Amino acid sequence: MDKGSNRRIILIGFSATGKSRIGREIARHLGWGLVDTDQELTGLAGKDIPQIFAQDGEDRFREMEQQVLAAACQKTGVVIACGGGAVIAPHNRQLMKESGFVACLEASPEVIHRRLVEDTRTSGSIRPLLAAPNPLERIRQLKESRQHYYAVADWTVHTDHLALEEVLQETLRGWYYWSRARQEAPGWCPGDDLACEVVTAIAHYPVYVDWGLLRGLGQRVARVGLSGTAHIVSDQTVFSIYGDTVTKSLKEADIPAASFVVTPGETTKTLDTAARIYDWLIERRAERSDTIVALGGGVIGDLAGFVAATFLRGLPLVQAPTSLIAMVDASIGGKTAVNHPDGKNLIGAFHQPRLVMADVQTLTTLSDREMISGWAEVVKHGIVLDPGLFAFLQSNAVNLRRLDPQAATESVRRSVAVKARIVSEDERESGRRVLLNYGHTIGHALEAATDYGRFTHGEAVAIGMTGAAMLSHSLGLLPGEIVREQSALLQDLGLPAHGSGIDLNEVLDIMKSDKKVRGRAVRWVLLEGVGRPVVRNDVTEERVREVLQTLLADQPPGEAVP
């Protein structure tokens, strides 16, 4: 099976199971091409299928069908909707199996018969299967004779009681599991700016990562089927650098664009700012077919995403992150929020984007501190879920600090693939997604305890990761060697490992009110090794206090780990 096989979805099934309709929907969702083999075949022959059978015979029809299928399987980024009898030929079945993900759409004979009757009423053309003396019995017999051929499928979707959207999502879910088992999706695609794809029960979207992508944003937006006005939300710093590029790109794709620019910083992420954007959208008479484009770092992604989630009960969202932390974390997964005076991100909603475009070159215009801050999330992804990424970061820390294009792009691609995989498995943080909170329990508390003014988010998370590793070691879960390796990597990337001058009791109180508290017990994401996370809710306050005393002391905590 070739390397592009995870970018081919092949639909098989009996007549009237919905292959053409679902094929169109999948192609639209993925921004791929569609090959309907029956349509291709009639175009090639210059006559419809009944005429081909009548004038040329079935053997000629099957020969042409093989040619069309073989040509389709040479393409990538394509959905192939096969004719009902395409699976009969052994050569076709072998080609399907070798070329990509094969999904069978299934339906009962009764449902197939009803759909064919409805189609005949709509089109005015009698389908051949209905021309038999007893159409339903003919469908039963023919379907039974072909049933064993459908075993070639990797995934089967029973469509009898499902709406079109449900069939779409079930097919995509099968494709995701199949690809993941082959370690291809969501996954890193070397040499291709499509880094990974997020597939959840209700959403599917691509994540593009490369150097210099912003100039093609408009084309990508159009490719995923968005054509209404693009309402760009950005901050003054980012928009002054990239606003013209993005606006021009959208207009070149015939997408009207307007912009709302806010003051940079976490203090902007409030309900008051969201209300001002609502007023602007109302003034512009924004419609549900319009799109919100979040151009900026994590603050803009959260704020614009929250507006997109709530205005008109939901607008399409495009994330164009320009900070490292936004690229590998905030832009992927649909978490949107604004802050409340009593806590960060307390008011929010899940709202998945339609597209994520991470232009790694935009990192060159970040301040050194902002750039360094983002590596905390990348390190987190590696040490919690991807030992290979963790090792890559250790080997390339020097190149990453100087933002070498190749090393930086590779690390971002691999990191977003980790986030995409977890989001695809657990969209609403009811399961494995909680693992991404490693380092965040302490990190969020440090941010709140210092009024979000002393630490960047990445700096706070880095300190929180140090504390989580120390706590893991204190509980006998994690060898001291790994605690030191993590601290060394954070230091090599320029991140802090401790804080000082912070009220320990205030930090403890804030942690108790964190969104992730369950039954008054803090859920701690800890480690048993690199790539071996564990969630614990039985950690005593005394043990946490001991770690915080070391973590918040005037001296770095390294000596506290034997």
**pLDDT (0 to 100) of residue 367:** 92
Identify the pLDDT of residue 140.
93
Helices 440-449 & 457-474 angle (0-180, nearest 10): 130
The four Cα atoms 493, 504, 555, 532 give a dihedral, to 10 degrees, of: -40
Mean pLDDT per segment of 10 residues, for the chain of length 562 residues?
74 94 86 89 84 83 91 92 92 94 95 89 73 88 91 93 85 80 46 76 86 93 90 97 97 96 94 98 96 97 98 96 95 94 88 96 94 96 94 95 93 93 81 90 92 90 96 96 96 92 92 65 92 93 94 68 47
What is the rounded distance in angstroms from the CA atom of residue 362 to the CA atom of residue 360?
5
* Amino acid identity for residue 479 in this structure: P
430/403 Cα distance (integer angstroms): 35
- Measured CA to CA, the distance from residue 181 to residue 178 in angstroms comes to 5
Question: Measuring CA to CA, how many Å separate 255 from each of 228, 282, 295?
Answer: 6, 19, 16
Contacts of 54 (CB under 8 A, 6+ apart): none
Q: Quote the tokens at residue 35.
A: 């090959």
Residue-wise DSSP of 14-28: STTSSHHHHHHHHHH
How deeply is 238 buried, as exposed, middle or buried, from its count of CB atoms within 10 A (0-12, 13-18, 19+)?
buried
Residue with tokens 């969702």: 29
Query: So what's the pLDDT on residue 186?
Result: 41
Measure the N-to-C terminal CA separation of the chain; round to a whole number of Å.
49
Distance CA 497, CA 274 (A): 34
- Alpha carbon of 360 to those of 333, 368, 406, 445, 493: distances in Å? 19, 15, 10, 30, 17
Instruction: Report strand pairing: 194-199 vs 101-106.
Output: unpaired
Rg of the Cα atoms in the chain: 27
- Collapsing DSSP states into helix, strand and coil, what is residue 9? strand
pLDDT value of position 342: 80
Domains located in the chain, CATH noted? 5-181 (3.40.50.300), 194-380 (3.40.50.1970), 438-560 (1.20.1090.10)
CA diameter of the chain: 90
How many helices (H) does the chain have, and how many strands (E)? 22, 16
Q: Would the pTM of this model clear 0.85, i.e. be above it?
A: no
* Amino acid letter, 556: P
DSSP one-letter code for 554: S
Query: CA torsion 162→168→171→173, rounded to 10°?
Result: -100
Q: Look at residues 334, 349, 228 and name the one whose alpha carbon lies nearest to residue 288.
A: 228
Judge whether 467 and 547 are in contact, CB under 8 Å. Answer: yes
